[in-house]
Amino acid sequence: MRLDRFLSNLAQFSRADARLLLAGGRIRVDGAAVRDGRCEVREFSRIELDDQLLQAGKPARFFMLHKPLGVVSATCHPEHRTVLDLLDEPDKHELHIAGRLDLGTSGLLLLTNDGLWSRRLTEPRSRLGKVYRVTTEQPITAEYIEVFAHGLYFAYENLTTLPAELQILDSHSALLTLHEGRYHQVKRMFGHFQNKVIGLHRERMGPLQLDPGLAPGEYRALSAAEAALV
């Protein structure tokens, strides 16, 4: 929210108080004096009045997980293990998933407590490509490349998919780059050619690639530099 609104929402300050404190340069956000009440602050921001701490700010947390097959991309599930069950972290209930994967899909999964970060990563308008390794039952031909590049019409949603890039690796496998996340999109795209997807693995989301050192079910924290890439 805006800084002036944050201040006026505190019991000890009125709107007039907030304006005076800002004008006097007495409010610091993450160590820097701020005079503009329109400054956006978040739950991660440290906010101080002179030597008084108004909000400590909690650390943003980012994790990369190699999701195995058979694990649900959810925080709880009555039948299956969830990705949170794989984490040995305090307050893991505060984390959410940035871009879910189906039960039968493996690969890169990112978890965070930062909603703005995850939205930047997953919103179609961000145009951050998600790269999947696809294995199919029938051969993949060059025709797929052209059709995917033009987009496919999905009647159920009454929409045409965004252009997608396909790189054929061999007769039955390819790398597919998507810029959106429709329901069972990869399977439906290959289903256009009556070709069943029998293996699906996400390798990359935007600038972040699955760490080859992570075995299925393993995870690690992202570095500050990696998180800043998004």
Active centre residues (catalytic) = 102
Question: How far are the Cα atoms of 94, 152, 162, 178 from residue 144, in angstroms, in the given order?
Answer: 41, 11, 14, 14
Which amino acid, residue 182? R
Q: How many helices (H) and strands (E) does the chain have?
A: 6, 15
Which residues have CB under 8 Å from 48's CB, separation 6+? 27, 28, 54
Q: Which residues pair with 64 in a beta bridge?
A: 110, 220
* CA separation for the pair 138, 179 (Å, rounded): 25
How far, rounded to the nearest angstrom, does the alpha carbon of residue 48 sit from its chain's CA centroid? 30
Structure tokens at 229: 């890439």
Going by C-alpha positions, the residue among 114, 131, 99 that lies closest to residue 201 is 131
Query: Residue for token digits 């984490």?
Result: 87
* CA separation for the pair 56, 79 (Å, rounded): 38
Q: How many CA atoms lie within 13 A of 107 on its CB side?
A: 20
- Residues listed for the chain: 230
Other CB atoms within 10 A of residue 156 CB: 8
